Amino acid sequence: MAFLKVVSLEEALEIINSFPLKPRTEMVPLSEALGRVLAEDIVSPINVPPFDRATVDGYALRAEDTFMASESEPVRLRVIGEVNAGDFPDFELKPGESVYISTGAPLPKGADAVIQFEDVDRDGDEVVIYKPAYPGLGVMKAGTDIPKGKLLLKKGTRLGFKETALLSAVGLAEVPVFRKPKVAVISTGNELVLPGEELRPGQIYDINGRAIADAARELGGEAVFLGIARDDRGSLKALIEKGVECCDIVILSGGASGGIRDLTSSIIEELGEVKIHGIAIQPGKPTIIGLIDGKPVFGLPGYPTSCLTNFTLLVAPLLRRLIGRESEVRKVKKKLAHKVFSVKGRRQFLPVRIEGEKAVPILKGSGAVTSFIDADGFIEVPENVEILEAGEEVEVLFFG
Ligand code: AMP
Ligand code: MG
């Protein structure tokens, strides 16, 4: 079987976009919300602080009682009690009265200022005040930090510790977030062994399994690594079926070229339908995309750099869509550090490293794992372009 369903990158993205997957949402406890993406706008259900609160330790009073206070003629107010943080005073402060108050405690009715204790003298049951207070001194009014009804966080926000702290401040114990798409990851090849296993002659360690699983997790998905399928029909079919059963998306790598390619595509065709068989880009020609039971199955190239380039171009947008982060920009414009040559008639993606304002092409070839490890992203060399000159502006798409 040759490449039967070769499409352009744009056509491939359109087909992927038409797949019957929809973002789904769930409620999670706030303690598990870190790193998740909000599925709804969050509006504050309360005022923060919920009450007028002292911001210093000192004396709560009526500011107008102190307007005449001076060094030479201090004002004396009667101290009628004490309010500590966590108390709620049920009395009203009358003219000429004050109350000892600690930081974070609610002001009693009637009080509108707090003078810190360092600025006054205490004399028995009186406090001696040497300069006027003004309304609001030493007070944080209810809702001035966060007013009730305020839009706090927008749908699509990824929650970091600041955001979870904010949700905590308004008392939300559960948060609506996008569900993590479940991604099954399968490596293929008789030559592959897992890290930790002994490397026999002719074998190499599996790189793509880890790379794809962790790239998917970084994007907000949940990865299920199903292991290494050997290059035989039984092994490959069993793992693909397992992936379709357990997950929303299945990603294979390797086995997408030569005779093995036919195996992957014929298994997908048997279990579902091959939608794309080859994309007109380099690297990525040997990419297969199918649908089994409504679930996308991606067969990505084996070389790690090619594999991750295609993951970034094809799978990452789908994952972003499923977690409500479609609009996330993962591109920057830079100047090419040196000239690169490409083949005319081939739309090519080249790994580059970013150094300041420059994009430095990495020309080790896609067979080297360090091509993508050393790279920050890649640039596109269009089909009709043979040479990109040093200094030309290029757009760098970040890996992952
Ligand atoms: P294939 O498409 O299976 O012919 O693989 C192309 C190249 O990528 C071969 O050199 C494979 O050994 C290599 N390769 C395939 N899968 C992996 C993997 N999971 N990790 C590292 N290298 C791989
Ligand atoms: Mg292989």
Task: Give the pLDDT confidence of 165-212 residue by residue, as tens digits.
Answer: 999 999 999 999 999 999 999 999 999 999 999 999 999 999 999 999
Q: 130, 162, 178: which is the final residue of a domain?
A: 178
pLDDT at 362: 94
**pLDDT confidence bin for 343, thresholds 50/70/90:** confident
Which residue has 């009667």 as its token pair?
78
Q: 304, 322, 340: which is the final residue of a domain?
A: 322
pLDDT in tens, 28-37: 999 999 999 9
Total Cβ atoms within 10 A of residue 262: 15
The reply to whether 197 and 301 lie within a common domain is yes
CA 206 – ligand 1 centroid, Å: 8
Which ligand is closest to the CA of 191, given by its number? 1
The reply to whether 293 and 186 lie within a common domain is yes
Would the pTM count as exceeding 0.75?
Answer: yes
At 266, the amino acid letter reads: S
Distance between CA atoms of residues 137 and 381, nearest Å: 64
**pLDDT confidence bin for 342, thresholds 50/70/90:** confident
Report how far apart, in Å, the C-alpha atoms of 187 and of each of 144, 190, 369, 389 are: 55, 10, 15, 38
The reply to whether 107 and 20 lie within a common domain is no
**pLDDT confidence bin for 260, thresholds 50/70/90:** low
**pLDDT confidence bin for 1, thresholds 50/70/90:** very low
Judge residue 384's burial from the number of C-beta atoms within 10 Å of its C-beta, 0-12 exposed, 13-18 middle, 19 or more buried.
exposed
pLDDT in tens, 57-110: 999 999 999 999 999 999 999 999 999 999 999 999 999 999 999 999 999 999
CA 226 – ligand 2 centroid, Å: 16
Is residue 31 within 8 A of residue 298, CB to CB? The reply is no
Q: Rounded to the nearest 5 degrees, what angle is found at the Cα of 53, between the Cα atoms of 50 and 56?
A: 150
The reply to whether 77 and 219 lie within a common domain is no
Q: 86, 115, 140: which is the final residue of a domain?
A: 140
Asked if residue 148 is part of any domain, the answer here is no
- Give me 298's structure tokens: 């991606």
Asked if residue 1 is part of any domain, the answer here is no
Q: Among 62-76, 223-237, 280-294, which is the least confidently predicted range?
A: 280-294
Q: Which mutation among 190, 212, 235, 253 tests ligand 1's pocket best, with the greatest number of atoms within 8 A of CB?
A: 253
Mean pLDDT of 239-255: 96
241: left (phi over 0), alpha (psi -120 to 50) or beta: alpha
Tell me what the pLDDT averaged over the chain comes to: 94
pLDDT at 255: 82
Mean pLDDT of 232-243: 96
The reply to whether 19 and 30 lie within a common domain is no
Q: Among 38-42, 106-110, 301-305, which is the least confidently predicted range?
A: 301-305
Is residue 41 within 8 A of residue 155, CB to CB? The reply is yes
Which ligand is closest to the CA of 192, given by its number? 1
Mean pLDDT of 301-323: 94
CATH code where residue 218 lies? 3.40.980.10
At 94, the amino acid letter reads: K
Check if 284 has its Cβ closer than 6 Å to any atom of ligand 1. Answer: no
Which ligand is closest to the CA of 253, given by its number? 1
- Give me 377's structure tokens: 């992203």
Mean pLDDT of 360-379: 89
Distance between CA atoms of residues 352 and 147, nearest Å: 47
CA 256 – ligand 2 centroid, Å: 7
Asked if residue 145 is part of any domain, the answer here is no
The reply to whether 251 and 367 lie within a common domain is no
At 46, the amino acid letter reads: I
Is residue 322 within 8 A of residue 156, CB to CB? The reply is no
Cβ within 8 Å of residue 329, ≥6 positions away: none
Question: What is the count of structural domains for the chain?
Answer: 4
Q: Rounded to the nearest 5 degrees, what angle is found at the Cα of 103, between the Cα atoms of 81 and 71?
A: 70
Check if 187 has its Cβ closer than 6 Å to any atom of ligand 1. Answer: yes
Q: Among 151-155, 174-178, 246-250, 329-333, which is the least confidently predicted range?
A: 329-333
Q: Whose CA is nearest to atom 23 of ligand 1?
A: 302
The reply to whether 195 and 274 lie within a common domain is yes
The reply to whether 136 and 89 lie within a common domain is yes
Residue 360: which domain range? Answer: 331-398
Check if 312 has its Cβ closer than 6 Å to any atom of ligand 1. Answer: no
pLDDT at 360: 96
**pLDDT confidence bin for 274, thresholds 50/70/90:** very high
Check if 208 has its Cβ closer than 6 Å to any atom of ligand 1. Answer: yes
The reply to whether 273 and 340 lie within a common domain is no
CATH code where residue 379 lies? 2.40.340.10
**pLDDT confidence bin for 220, thresholds 50/70/90:** very high
CA 243 – ligand 1 centroid, Å: 20
Which ligand is closest to the CA of 204, given by its number? 1
Q: Which mutation among 199, 225, 285, 307 tests ligand 1's pocket best, with the greatest number of atoms within 8 A of CB?
A: 307
Asked if residue 130 is part of any domain, the answer here is yes
Q: Which mutation among 197, 303, 307, 373 tests ligand 1's pocket best, with the greatest number of atoms within 8 A of CB?
A: 303
Report how far apart, in Å, the C-alpha atoms of 182 and of each of 68, 185, 327 are: 70, 10, 21
Asked if residue 4 is part of any domain, the answer here is no
Asked if residue 78 is part of any domain, the answer here is yes
CA 236 – ligand 1 centroid, Å: 15
Atom of ligand 1 nearest to the CA of 191: 12
Which residue has 């040759």 as its token pair?
2
The reply to whether 35 and 160 lie within a common domain is yes
Asked if residue 183 is part of any domain, the answer here is yes
The reply to whether 160 and 196 lie within a common domain is no
Distance between CA atoms of residues 44 and 151, nearest Å: 7
Asked if residue 186 is part of any domain, the answer here is yes
State residue 222 phi and psi, 5-degree precision: -115, 125
Distance between CA atoms of residues 187 and 239, nearest Å: 10
The reply to whether 66 and 125 lie within a common domain is yes
How, if at all, do strands 222-229 and 174-178 pair?
A: unpaired
pLDDT in tens, 108-159: 999 999 999 999 999 999 999 999 999 999 999 999 999 999 999 999 999 9
